[in-house]
């Protein structure tokens, strides 16, 4: 076990020194802050959206099956639990969408300075709130 | 990469330090611990880029279908543009989903006996759900 671990964690720098590669930080020693909270939320909303694809698949399959099965899905979506589920799905979608764009910007090499990271984080929170409210209002008005 | 680093080190008489944060074993294998290089990471980015416009399109389309009948949905899907974008959305969404869930399982499930079955189950479920959604869109598009 130790040998495998060493094989994977011990590296040599370009000037020939042996070094231990850095390990991931242990979460529990850190004070929660916007950067870490938003990062965890990206994962949680991703998992929530995965559960939400069950609803998407159910809706599409029902639409392709019969009027009565479509009525069952519609009935569920309009029920209090269905509407709550839908609200959670809409909020998760917009959060993952906005923060995903933030991630793509990082991947392209932009926005790494700490003040920018904090500002883009709050922008994601604000955009999620606004888009979720807007979408929820549109759903309620169309029902 | 490491060759370049060695060359630049000798040129500056050992002054220039280039950190190569890769283990000897990792360098020998050449493709990282997942044995696929950056493919997984890159596929996640490509699908997320595609999902930016597709998501906006889908939310607007879905909002216009709220409160409508099954017949209205079929009529909507009969438009080739809607069927194409709907099919694209479903394919890219489920692909992106299984890529993301795979990483979540790999990060949190440490027992190898649990990890592999879970990843395979997720990939199987994502494939079947995606296929069911795709077949439904095509059926709506071609047969109403």
Residue spans per domain, chain B: 1-30, 33-143
| C-alpha to C-alpha distance for A93 and A128, rounded to whole angstroms | 9
Give SS3 for B23.
strand
For residue B18, which residues of chain A lie inside 8 Å, CB to CB? 13-14
Does the distance separating the beta carbons of A70 and B69 come in below 8 Å? Answer: yes
Which DSSP letter does residue A11 get?
Answer: E
pLDDT score for B8: 41
> Taking the mean position of all CA atoms in its chain, how far away is CA B86?
17
Q: Walk along chain A (143 residues) and give the pLDDT tens digit of each residue.
A: 466 767 777 888 888 888 887 777 676 777 888 999 999 999 999 999 999 999 999 999 999 999 999 999 999 999 999 999 999 999 999 999 999 999 999 999 999 999 999 999 999 999 999 999 999 999 999 88
> How many C-beta atoms surround the C-beta of residue A50 within 10 A?
22
Q: What is the pLDDT of residues B79-138, one digit of tens each?
A: 999 999 999 999 999 999 999 999 999 999 988 899 999 999 999 999 999 999 999 999
Nearest C-alpha of chain A: how many angstroms from B97? Answer: 6
| C-alpha to C-alpha distance for B137 and B65, rounded to whole angstroms | 14
| C-alpha to C-alpha distance for B21 and B38, rounded to whole angstroms | 16
Over residues B18-38, mean pLDDT:
67
Which DSSP letter does residue A12 get?
Answer: E
Kindly give the interhelix angle for A80-107 and B39-65, rounded to the nearest 10 degrees: 140
Does the distance separating the beta carbons of A67 and B2 come in below 8 Å? Answer: no
> How many C-beta atoms surround the C-beta of residue B22 within 10 A?
17
The per-residue pLDDT of chain B, averaged, comes to 86
Which CATH fold would you assign to the domain B33-143?
3 helical TM bundles of succinate and fumarate reductases (1.20.1300)
Is pLDDT of B9 > 50? no
Contact between A128 and A94 (Cβ < 8 Å): yes
- Domains of chain A, each with CATH number or no CATH: 33-142 (1.20.1300.10)
Does the distance separating the beta carbons of B132 and A61 come in below 8 Å? Answer: yes
Of residues B39 and B57, more confidently modeled: B57
- Residues B14, B19, B21, B22: what is their CA dihedral angle, to the nearest 10 degrees? -40
Q: What angle do CA B20, B26, B31 make, to 5 degrees?
A: 105
């Amino acid at each position: 076990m130790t040998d495998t671990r060493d094989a994977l964690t011990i590296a040599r720098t370009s000037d020939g020194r042996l070094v231990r590669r850095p390990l991931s930080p242990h979460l529990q020693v850190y004070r929660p802050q916007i950067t870490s909270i938003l990062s965890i939320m990206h994962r949680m909303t991703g998992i929530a959206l995965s559960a939400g694809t069950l609803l998407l698949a159910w809706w599409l399959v029902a639409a392709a099956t019969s009027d009565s099965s479509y009525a069952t899905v519609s009935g569920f979506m309009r029920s209090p639990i269905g509407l709550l589920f839908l609200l959670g799905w809409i909020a998760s979608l917009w959060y993952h969408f906005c923060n995903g764009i933030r991630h793509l910007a990082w991947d392209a090499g932009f926005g790494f300075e700490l003040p920018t990271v904090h500002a883009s984080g709050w922008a994601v929170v604000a955009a999620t709130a606004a888009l979720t409210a807007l979408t929820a209002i549109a759903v309620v008005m169309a029902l | 990469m490491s060759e370049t680093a060695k060359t630049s080190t000798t040129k500056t008489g050992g002054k220039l330090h280039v950190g190569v944060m890769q283990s000897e074993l990792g360098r020998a294998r050449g493709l990282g611990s997942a044995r696929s290089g950056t493919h997984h990471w890159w596929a996640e980015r490509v699908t997320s880029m595609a999902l930016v416009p597709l998501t906006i399109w889908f939310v607007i389309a879905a909002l216009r279908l709220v409160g409508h009948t099954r017949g209205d949905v079929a009529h909507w899907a009969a438009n080739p543009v809607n069927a194409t974008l709907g099919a694209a959305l479903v394919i890219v969404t489920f692909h992106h989903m299984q890529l993301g869930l795979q990483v979540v399982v790999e990060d949190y499930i440490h027992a190898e006996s649990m990890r592999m079955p879970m990843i395979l189950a997720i990939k199987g479920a994502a494939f079947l759900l995606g296929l069911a959604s795709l077949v439904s869109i095509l059926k709506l598009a071609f047969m109403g």
